């Protein structure tokens, strides 16, 4: 079911967006060589407790997950790109880390993701990260009344193809509101002028993710982490966006 939010409800969603942005900023800043993924999860967990927020992940158990997630942030490293389950791994120089976080504040959810290089970067990793960020910007720019979901999808895909990356459509963006995942699905590839018309009040997570040399993925033995089929690295960028009569509002904008 697709729900449209009133301007007042979108205002009520802003605290959740600000909180999610603050957790990603804090965990990204803490992601240094020698830091363990479980320390990043513990930091996010403490911020949730301190803010009186609720985790969207810890009890999350969709059909594609082997069990309840059990942690509060996704930490995907190198060839992992989505749903990275935090485990006892110490970050190394040059690791490509994607952080994905969603939380509920006063009953409203926001969802966002960021990718970064820990320590010394490879140019190929920086190019991959820049491409997902540019694709996210292009998708947000297309999130306007009069357009359709396919216009967002095509804007994302055009940026990826321009840089030579292929696109997986198994996982993509989604509706956000009282729960983390809702309708509509927002794939990262599509045809312009097709799909659901975009109307003011629609709140969606737009989330391009690309792999360096493949579009095929498999699920790690942990039952959650999605990895590239060929071992190449991945990057993931995401914001929660509200469509309005004018410019889209990026609820999870970071400072």
Residue 240 vs residues 65, 156, 209: alpha-carbon distances, Å:
23, 15, 15
State yes or no: 93 annotated in a binding site.
no
Is 61 annotated to bind a ligand? Reply is no
- The answer to whether the beta carbons of residues 231 and 217 sit under 8 Å apart is no
Geometric angle at alpha carbon 182, from 108 and 210, rounded to 5°: 105
Is 181 known as a binding-site position? yes
Dist. CA 187–CA 4, nearest whole Å: 19
Q: At what angle do helices 123-141 and 149-162 cross, to 10 degrees?
A: 160
Q: Is 236 marked as a binding-site residue? A: no
| Rg, C-alpha atoms of the chain | 17
- With tokens 């140019």, the residue in question is 123
Q: Is 95 annotated as a binding residue?
A: no
Bridge partners (DSSP) of residue 218 are 227
Q: Name residues whose C-beta falls within 8 Å of residue 108's C-beta, 6 or more positions apart in sequence.
A: 9, 12, 13, 15, 16, 177, 178
> Distance between CA 80 and CA 108 in Å, rounded?
29
CB burial readout 216-254, b (16+ within 10 A) else e: ebeebeeebbbbbeeebbbbbbbbbbbbbeeebbbbbee
**Binding site, annotated residues:** 83, 100, 111, 174, 181, 207, 238
**Binding site, annotated residues for a divalent metal cation:** 100, 111, 174, 207, 238
**Binding site, annotated residues for substrate:** 83, 181
């Amino acid at each position: 079911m697709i729900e449209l939010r009133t301007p007042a409800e979108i205002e009520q969603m802003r605290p959740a967006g600000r909180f999610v942005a603050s957790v990603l900023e804090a965990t990204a800043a803490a992601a240094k060589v020698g830091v363990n993924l479980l320390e990043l999860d513990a930091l996010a967990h403490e911020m949730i407790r301190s803010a009186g927020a609720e985790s969207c992940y810890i009890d999350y158990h969709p059909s594609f997950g082997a069990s309840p997630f059990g942690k509060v942030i996704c930490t995907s490293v190198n060839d992992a790109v989505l749903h990275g389950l935090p485990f006892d791994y110490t970050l190394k120089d040059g690791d490509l880390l994607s952080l994905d976080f969603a939380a509920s504040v006063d009953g409203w959810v926001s969802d966002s993701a960021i990718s970064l290089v820990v320590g010394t970067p490879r140019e190929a990793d920086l190019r991959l990260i820049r491409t997902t960020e540019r694709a996210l910007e292009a998708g947000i720019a297309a999130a306007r009344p009069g357009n359709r979901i396919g216009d967002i999808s095509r804007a994302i895909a055009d940026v990826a193809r321009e840089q030579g990356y292929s696109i997986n459509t198994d996982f993509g963006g989604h509706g956000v509101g009282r729960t983390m995942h809702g309708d509509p699905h927002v794939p990262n590839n599509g045809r312009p002028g097709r799909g659901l018309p975009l109307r003011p009040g629609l709140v969606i997570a737009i989330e391009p993710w690309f792999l360096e040399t493949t579009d095929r993925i498999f699920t790690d033995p942990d039952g959650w982490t999605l990895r590239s089929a060929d071992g190449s690295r991945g990057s993931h960028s995401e914001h929660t966006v509200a469509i309005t009569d004018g410019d889209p509002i990026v609820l999870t904008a970071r400072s």
